[in-house]
Structure 1
Amino acid sequence: MPSSTFLNLPTPKKDRIIHALVTEFSHHPLADAQVAPIVKEAAIARGAFYKYFTDLNDAYHFVYQLAIQTIHRAIPAPPVAHSAATYTNFTRSFLEQAVASEYFLFIKNHLLFNEQNVSTSVPLDFDAKTWAAATLSHAALREAIATSDSATQALILTRLNIALKHLFSGED
């Protein structure tokens, strides 16, 4: 996570750095990202980058958390009851918010190239149905974000809903 020095920067400078990070991580997988374009776009010294972040992985995790929090903030909390409709609607809402977000290309790049490098696993204390529903929803989200065709996205969400209905109608 960023240093307190970064967190205490004036908002315009902090926003400029965040924008540069989002730009770099939206256009390059984490393995190919570089500090040089970030510091150039943000108009900061290379040493300042390392004063704010431990390394590129640290900066990436910061942007990932920021993007996820921003997207989730716009989505109403799902009801406690677990159902196919609950998971499908939440996945649809996340997709819509992600597509409309300034972080869309970042999220798309994350799901397609970087996800395996960032720990975002489903908590181990989930029961089997919750784990399966979360895993199916995440896979559908990854597929839907990978395409820009809204008709294909709708088909993916329909398929998710059908699979979840089977999951929740089955015996434990």
Structure 2
Amino acid sequence: MDIHFLKWVHICSSMLLFGTGLGTAFFKFTADLGRDLKVMGDTNRRVVLADWLFTTPTVVVQPLSGYALAQAYGYPWTAPWLLMSLGLYLVAGLCWLPVVYLQIRMRDDCAAALAAGRELDPRYWRDARLWFWLGVPAFLAMVGVIGLMVAKPALW
């Protein structure tokens, strides 16, 4: 495979991963702030859909294309910037997995409350807080990964 195409796939995939995460987080957070159950339900449904359509494929493409690029460029797996980026990617992934579960549960909680014509269960707000706080280290980790990928600094 052409290395330029591979690099293009890797960069586009990282943009899609980062952009989808940041965009959906913004819209979900602001929908929750508005406390309009109908808007929250619609937003949560779309956030879950965006994760399946965009985030999940890029979570797979990123390490595969990264591995292929490291091989093509001859980067050793012991390169500090590469080890650190893999560690940060793992941190982001470990935060993302419970976030996916929480998003699905919050989507379902909104749908149930709307269907029953009742207010949200307090669990929704606990889940929303946890979702937010899991997003902070995931976001910072991805910023770090992108910085390491671009700069490839000598860390130690």
* Same fold at TM > 0.5: no
| Structure with greater helix percent | 2
- Ranked by relative contact order (alpha carbons within 8 Å, sequence separation 6 or more), the top structure is 2
Q: Please, what TM-score do these two structures have when normalized by structure 2?
A: 0.28
Q: Please, what TM-score do these two structures have when normalized by structure 1?
A: 0.26
